[in-house]
A and B are shown apart, each in its own frame.
Chain A
Amino acid sequence: MNASELTTISAEELKPVHLPGAIIPAPPEDSDTSIMRIEIGPAHPAMHGIVRLTTYLDGEQIVGMVPEIGYLHRGFEKESENSKWIQVIPYTDRLNYVSPVLNNIGYSMAVEKLFGVEIPRRAQFARVIMGEISRITDHLTCLAACAMEVGGFTFFLWFIKAREYLYELLEQVTGGRVTINWTRFGGNSTDFPDGFLKEVEVRLEKVREVIEEGDQLVTRNKIFIDRMKNIGVLSKEKAISYGFTGPLLRACGVPYDIRRADPHLVYDELDFEIPIGEVGDSYDRFLVRMEEMRQSISIIEQAIDKIPYGPVMTRERYLGYPDKKEVYGSIEGLIDHFKMVMEGHHPPAGEVYQPIEGGNGELGFYLVSDGSGDPVKCRVRPPCFNYVQAMPELALGHYVADIIAIFGSINMIGGELDR
């Protein structure tokens, strides 16, 4: 086979595929030119989840793209229906595996909404602190990968180093770095260990240093700006119609943040700003995430000042296990413990949708309960599903090398995309 055979594809191959968001080019009119189809992914260094972008190229220019997802499908939603309510929490760790705490919080809040309970204030503050730490790790990972793919490998490892400082914090509280399984219905499984909040402040200072250092290395670098500026531009209206949320929507200039729009936990008591971009290109997304990390650090510092003492788990018997002292000391405690182990939680029948501001955008859990011990439906609204759908439109007209600059900045996480 010679090179020309490789590059040619027939007109029949260019027939439309019925996938949402797919853009298929029209076959070229003159016979001298041809369109080349290249499969980027599923095994490709820049596709950091697993996703396939079937790309149509005219020379180096992208004229069409079909994103194909589902390579990391694990059946999260179906598996949840076959589990007890509480057993779903560990599964949620695996959704967005760079900010697992936020998934835990989102799911637990949805179930708490079903129950209609308010969790103790200390637990709410703890969730804010852990959630924001998790948001920083999410943004650090995204920015690091994004910069790495346009060549800033040093930046990548610096940010991953900073992420490690924070993972170690999560480890102190939850015992795990990524699969943490931390929240429960009605509170959190563990309180902060002694001296933890001081440690948080020390480490945030270190993280802040790394962020500023990385900022100096990359943000005003001419090559980096050339690679990112005006790449993957999406207008406000288009972004809204695609269902963009989170940092990507804010980069397009819409100041929509669920922490502000629908204040959950104690976000309404904390003071923070919502950074927005101007044109909605890859560079704006980079800057928005960069600024959000600084805001998150400020939120954590405020939360540390305000966090009250008290329990981290509600005392409602139908939500949590009784104390071990009660289990061994009283018959009621023993019965409650037994019932909790054998039957689990029984949220009242109904359905709820609970959105929270995940690291990547709106992370929503839609739950249906029929009053029995199992979820009837557990649907996740992953933020990056919409982003991948918009990928062809973002990439159209750019060069092959821009795919990675765009794909890096939308931060696709295979775990929550394919579930």
Chain B
Amino acid sequence: MQLVLEFLALPFVQDVLKILFILLLFAMPLGTFMTLMERKWSAAVQDRIGPNRANIGSYRGRGLLHIAADALKSIFKEDLIPKGADKFLYTIAPFFSFMSAVAVFAIIPIAGPIGDFKFQVTDVEPGLLFIFAITSLGVYGAVLAGASSNSKFALFGGTRASAQMISYEVFLGLSLMGLFMVYGSTQVSAIVEGQGEHWFGLIPKWGVFTQPLGFVVFFTALIAETKRAPFDAPEGESEIVAGYFVEYSGMRWSSFMLAEYIAIVGVAALITTLFFGGYQVPWLYHWESAPQWLVTLLQFGKFASFTFIFCWFQIQIRWTVPKFRFDQTMALGWKKLLPVALLNTVVTAIIIVALA
């Protein structure tokens, strides 16, 4: 028993356990559930019933079994590599997309720290800069897939994706400058910590209240970064069929799809962490005698529920608005978001200096 506890106390073992918990019990299941939720919620928006046919005997679970059915189907489907494709690049491209979607969760705290123990895989000093680095890796997924598929439609998707994602990286970074100034750090734990305070003991000092403009720009840029509607010109299902992954099939295609849905969860988790107080439960400080386990549970519950709400919100956006054309996406970024982000940075700086 002693040995087991000592083993568990090893930092390496703890890290692995955290990764397993956050990825396998939180991000992946939620991402997988999003595939169903998107279909079910779009059905609700569009006056349909949605998927409900997959069954085991008479059990249908309101379409829940479609998750398993889809996974099984894509495993057993033929994994085609088109003639003339670059086999190596074609094979590794999905991993880039998938990895960059998953790696976001490395720095997201899902509950408040207990003593030295943090509910966060790694609390690196550069913090959000790590996110920018990781999301730019995701570009490779789309670009390599597009360039290696030996298909003109895929090539279109790849070029569009590279231009869009590299551009929106800029606004992604710029929109957070104000946030860094307000909370005085790029470290995620410090930013979340800072959001635990309250103005007049009433209004929580969340990022969305201190940086409303930053929130709008960041959310927009992040949706564009993950190539979700209305910014899904790289996929452009109506004109370039499926864009950069048009030639993919089977499990490789599924990893692109799953990467997209995990990215939805990642976006929601980032928004929650940076702009909605992360795990911080507002007004909880009034209740000083709260047991630690309950506080941690409440914090996780708050984080998870906000993440879920933003996942839903992205789905709602997708099924409400039409899509931008590719050049309009770029115009929106460089002509509208960039000035707004710069203005936000300048105004925040002036206010901080004036208050100090």
Is B92 at the interface (CB under 8 A from chain A)? no
Q: Which residues of A contact B156 (CB under 8 A)?
A: 60, 400
State which residues 237-254 of B face A: CB under 8 Å.
237-241
Are A403 and B239 in contact (CB-based, < 8 A)?
Answer: yes
Of B150, B152, B321, B327, the residue contacting A151 (CB under 8 A) is B321
Residue B236 at the A interface, CB < 8 A? yes
**How far apart are the CA atoms of A2 and B90 in the complex, in Å?**
12
From the candidates A36, A158, A401, A402, name the one contacting B46 in the complex (CB within 8 A): A158
Docked-complex contact B48 and A157, CB < 8 angstroms: yes
Q: Is the CB of B238 within 8 A of A223?
A: no
Q: Which residues of A contact B236 (CB under 8 A)?
A: 401
Contacts of A150-170 to chain B: CB distance below 8 A: 150-154, 157-158, 161
Query: How far, in angstroms, from A147 to B238 measured CA to CA in the complex?
Result: 11
Contact with B along A21-53 (1 / 0, CB 8 A): 000000000000000101010001110000000
Given the contacts A7-B152, A7-B155, A38-B152, A399 and B319 also touching, CB distance less than 8 Å: no
Does residue A305 face the partner (Cβ distance < 8 Å to B)? no
Q: Is the interface of A mostly helix, strand, loop or mixed?
A: helix
Task: Output the least CB separation between B27 and chain A (Å).
Answer: 27
Smallest Cβ distance from B7 to chain A, in angstroms?
51
Q: Given A36, A148, A224, which contacts B152 in the complex, CB threshold below 8 Å?
A: A36
Q: What are the residues of chain B within 8 A of A400 when measuring CB–CB? A: 156, 239-240
Give residues 129-175 of B contacting A (CB, 8 Å).
Answer: 147, 150-153, 155-156
Contacting residues, chain B, for A38 (C-beta < 8 A): 152-153
Given the complex, which residues of B lie within 8 Å of A36, measured CB to CB? 152
Q: Give chain A nearest CB distance to B328 CB in angstroms.
A: 6
In the complex, what residue of chain B is closest to A222 when comparing beta carbons? B321
Residues B281-304 near A (CB distance < 8 A): none
| A194 at the B interface (CB under 8 A) | no
| Chain A residues, Cβ within 8 Å of B147 | 3
- On whether the beta carbons of A227 and B238 are closer than 8 Å, the reply is no
CB pair A223–B323 under 8 Å, yes or no, is yes
Q: Would you call A150 and B323 a contact (CB within 8 A)?
A: yes
* Assembly CA distance A16 to B152 (angstroms): 23
Establish whether residues A227 and B322, one from each chain, have CB atoms under 8 Å apart when the complex forms. Answer: yes
Annotate B308-324 by CB proximity to A: 1 below 8 A, 0 otherwise: 00000000000111111
Instruction: Tell me, yes or no, whether A202 is within 8 Å of chain B by CB.
Output: no
Residue of A44, A46, A226 near B328 (CB, 8 A) is: A226
Complex alpha-carbon distance, A46 and B319, angstroms: 19
B152 cross-chain contacts in A, Cβ below 8 A = 6-7, 36, 38
What's the count of A-B pairs with C-beta under 8 Å?
A: 88
Which residues of chain A from 1 to 18 have a CB within 8 Å of any chain B CB?
A: 1-3, 6-7
Whether A226 touches B325, Cβ cut-off 8 Å, given contacts A400-B239, A404-B239, is yes
Question: Does any Cβ of B come within 8 Å of A83's Cβ?
Answer: no
Question: Known: A1-B84, A157-B48, A401-B239. Is A223-B326 also a contact (CB below 8 A)?
Answer: no
Task: Report how far A192 CA is from B292 CA in the complex, Å.
Answer: 74
Closest B residue by C-beta to A408: B238
Whether A401 lies near B48 (C-beta < 8 A) is: no
**Interface residue? B24 (CB, 8 A):** no
Residues of A within 8 A of B42 (CB): 153-154
**CA–CA, A154 to B316, complex, Å?**
11
Q: Are A221 and B321 in contact (CB under 8 A)?
A: yes
Q: How far is the CA of A60 from the CA of B156 in the complex (A)?
A: 8
List B210-251 residues whose CB lies under 8 Å from chain A. Answer: 229-230, 233, 236-241
Binary per-residue interface labels of chain A (376-416) against chain B in the complex, 1 for a CB within 8 Å, 0 otherwise:
00000000000000000000000111111000000000000
From A43, which residue of chain B is reached at the shortest CB distance?
B241
Asked whether any CB of chain A lies closer than 8 Å to the CB of B45, the reply is: yes
Give CA–CA (A147, B322) in the complex, Å. 8
Q: Are B326 and A60 in contact (CB under 8 A)?
A: yes
Interface residue? A81 (CB, 8 A): no
B47: interface (CB < 8 Å)? yes
Closest to A156 in B: B46
What residues of chain A lie closer than 8 Å to B327, measured between beta carbons? Answer: 60, 399
B230 close to A223 (CB less than 8 A): yes
- Which residues A200-231 have CB closer than 8 A to chain B? 217-218, 221, 223-224, 226-227
Alpha-carbon gap, A36 to B45, bound state (A): 40
Contact partner, A399, options B86, B155, B326, Cβ 8 Å: B326
Question: Which residues of chain A have C-beta atoms less than 8 A from B153's C-beta?
Answer: 38
Bound-state Cα–Cα, A226 to B233, Å:
14
Residues on A with C-beta less than 8 A from B229 are: 151
Please give the distance in Å from B343's CB to the nearest CB on chain A: 21
- A401 to B233, Cβ gap below 8 A? yes
Residues of chain A within 8 A (CB-CB) of B230 are: 151, 223
Alpha-carbon distance A403/B238, docked complex (angstroms): 10
Shortest B23–chain A CB gap in Å is 31
A336 at the interface (CB under 8 A from B): no
Nearest-Cβ distance from residue B139 to partner chain A, whole angstroms: 16
CA A160 to CA B325, docked complex, whole Å: 25
User: Chain B nearest CB: distance from A397 CB in Å?
Assistant: 13
Cβ 8 A contact of A223, one of B84, B150, B155, B322: B322
A45:B323 contact, CB within 8 angstroms:
no
A154 touches B46 (CB 8 A): yes
Chain B residues whose C-beta falls within 8 Å of the C-beta of A402 in the assembled complex? 325
- Is B325 in contact with A399, judged by CB distance below 8 angstroms? yes
Bound-complex Cα distance A6 to B158 (A): 14
Please determine whether A154 and B45 come into contact, CB atoms closer than 8 angstroms.
yes
Asked whether, in the complex, the Cβ of A401 is within 8 Å of the Cβ of B150, the reply is no
- Asked if residues B326 and A45 are in contact (CB atoms below 8 Å), the reply is no
Question: Are A44 and B233 interface neighbours, CB within 8 A?
Answer: no
**In the complex, A399→B325 CA distance in Å?**
9
Q: Are B325 and A45 in contact (CB under 8 A)?
A: no
Chain A interface (Cβ < 8 Å from any Cβ of B) = 1-3, 6-7, 36, 38, 40, 44-46, 60, 147-154, 157-158, 161, 217-218, 221, 223-224, 226-227, 399-404
A-B contact pairs, 26 of them (CB 8 A): A6-B152, A6-B155, A36-B152, A38-B153, A45-B241, A46-B238, A149-B238, A150-B238, A150-B323, A151-B229, A151-B321, A151-B323, A153-B319, A154-B42, A154-B45, A154-B46, A157-B48, A158-B46, A223-B322, A223-B323, A224-B322, A226-B324, A227-B328, A401-B233, A401-B236, A401-B325
Contacts A36-B152, A45-B238, A60-B326 known; 13 new A-B pairs at CB < 8 A: A6-B150, A44-B241, A147-B322, A150-B322, A150-B323, A218-B322, A223-B321, A226-B324, A226-B325, A227-B325, A400-B156, A401-B325, A404-B238
Smallest CB-CB A-B distances: 5 pairs: A151-B323, A151-B322, A157-B46, A149-B238, A1-B84
